[in-house]
Amino acid sequence: MLPIRLAIDVTSGDNGPRVILNGILEARGLTADPFVVYLCGDGERIGSLLEELGVSESDRRGRLFIEQCSELVSPGEARSRVWRKRADSAIIHSVVLQKQGKVDASISAGDTGVLLSAAIFILGRHRGVKRPALAAFLPTTGKRHTLLLDVGANLNCRVEHLVGFGLMGYSYVKKFLEISQPKVALLNVGTESTKGTRTLFEAAKLLATRCKGYAGFIEGSGVLQGEADVVVCDGFAGNVLLKTSESFYPLARSLLGKKPELAEAIMNNLDVLNPENYGAVPFLGIRGIVLKAHGSSSQRAFANAILAAINSVKKKALDLALNPGWEGLKLR
C-alpha cells in the first residue's frame, strides 16, 4: 500500500505548532497505516521545532515535508475572498496541495469559514450540493456513534439545505460506518409533528419522500442516546449541541475531582465522552477530504485527527458522487 499523503496546517489552532507536531509524532504509534505529512507553515520555525523534538533530518526523509507558507489570515478578512488573497497561508495552501494531487487529505484547526470557502472555491462541491456541511461524530450510549450535521458551517439554513444535509449524512454514514440503512432524524424541540418551525415541517415532508432512512424528529435528549444515526440541524443548533456535549467530560471530571480515588476509575469508563478522542470533523459535499480540527485541539486530538483523515481516505466515504442516486439529486 502506498503511504497516505496528508497536508497539515501547522500555524492555526490555539496551542501553537509544537502541540501539532507532537500530535503528528504521536499518531505514528497509533496506526499501522503508513502516511506522509506535508507541514504547511513557517518553514524555519517548523525546522527548529522538529530539531528540538529530536526528529533528525534522516527521520524526516520521505515522511515529513515542509511546505513554506509566508502569509497569515487575519480575523477581520472577508472569508469568501481570503482563499485567493492569502493563497500563501498555511490554511489555504493545505487545501491547494489537495487540488494539485500532492496529498489525499488536509487538516486545519483554523477558522471554519475560511477553511470552508477555501474547500468550496478550490476543490468544488459534489453535484447537487448547495451547501457543504461540517459533520461531527458524537459518542452515544447506543450501538454506535451518531453523525451530527451541520455543526457550524451554515448558521442560517433554508429547507433545501437541511434536506441536503440529511441526504449527505445518509450517504456518508452508510459508507463510513457500513450500515445498510442509517436512520436519519431532524433535530427539533419535540417529536410530535405539530412542534417546531415551518422550515422544519417542510424539511420533514421532503426528507420523508427523498431520504430512505428518514425517521422523523429527534430531541436534544435523544441524540446522545443514539436514537438516530444521522441528526440534521442548522449549524447554530448543531454547534451548541456539539459543544455542550463536549463539556460533559470536563464537567464530570470537575465534579469527581472532589473524590480523586473515584475519579480515575470512573473517567476511564466515561472516556467515550472525551472530545480529544474525536480529533477532527469532515466537510461533507466537497470534492476532497478536508478535516476541521478544534481550535483548542490538544496533542492527542491532533493525533486522532490524523487517524480520522487516514480512515476517510481509506473508506472513500466522502466521495458522495459515487453513491447511487446522489448524482441525479436536484434541490431547489
* In the complex, least distance from residue 319 CB atom to its own copies, rounded to whole angstroms: 28
Give Rg (Cα) of the chain: 20
220 binds its own copies (CB under 8 A): yes
Largest interatomic CA distance in the chain: 65
C-beta of 35: minimal distance to its own copies in Å? Answer: 30
- For its own copies, give the closer residue by CB, 179 or 270: 270
Q: At residue 129, what is the residue type?
A: V
CB of 39 to its own copies, least distance (A): 26
Query: How many whole angstroms separate alpha carbon 66 and alpha carbon 60?
Result: 10
Site string for its own copies, 267-306 (x = CB under 8 A): --xx-xx---------------------------------
In the complex with its own copies, the residue whose CB is nearer, 39 or 157, is 157
C-alpha cell at 178: 457500513
Contact call for residue 264 and its own copies (CB under 8 A): no
Sequence-ordered list of residues with C-beta below 8 angstroms from that of 16, at least 6 positions apart, any chain: none
CB of 10 to its own copies, least distance (A): 21
Q: Which three cell numbers stand for residue 31?
A: 496506526
- Choosing from 169, 182, 222, 282, the residue that interacts with its own copies (CB under 8 A) is 222
3-state secondary structure of 61: coil
Compute how many other C-beta atoms are within 10 angstroms of the C-beta atom of residue 211: 19
The answer to whether residue 244 forms part of the interface with its own copies (CB under 8 A) is yes
For residue 309, the SS3 value is helix
Cell numbers at 77, concatenated = 478578512
- Residue 155 within binding range of its own copies, rule CB under 8 A: yes
| Interaction between residue 51 and its own copies (CB under 8 A) | no
**In the bound complex, what is the minimum distance in angstroms from residue 262's beta carbon to its own copies?**
6
What minimum distance in Å lies between the beta carbon of 136 and its own copies?
12
- Nearest residue (CB) to its own copies, 251 versus 322: 251
Among 4, 19, 186, 187, binds its own copies (CB under 8 A): 187
With binding defined as CB under 8 A, does residue 250 bind its own copies?
yes
What whole-number distance in Å separates Cα of residue 224 and Cα of residue 139?
Answer: 7
Q: Please state, in angstroms and rounded to a whole number, the distance separating the CA atoms of residues 243 and 95.
A: 26
Residues 134 and 290: their CA atoms lie apart, in Å, by: 10
For residue 12, what are the CA distances in angstroms to 42, 272, 295?
11, 26, 7
Q: Residue numbers of the site for its own copies (CB under 8 A)? A: 75-76, 141, 152, 155-156, 187, 189, 192, 194, 196-197, 219-225, 233, 235-237, 239-248, 250-252, 254-256, 258-259, 262, 265-266, 269-270, 272-273
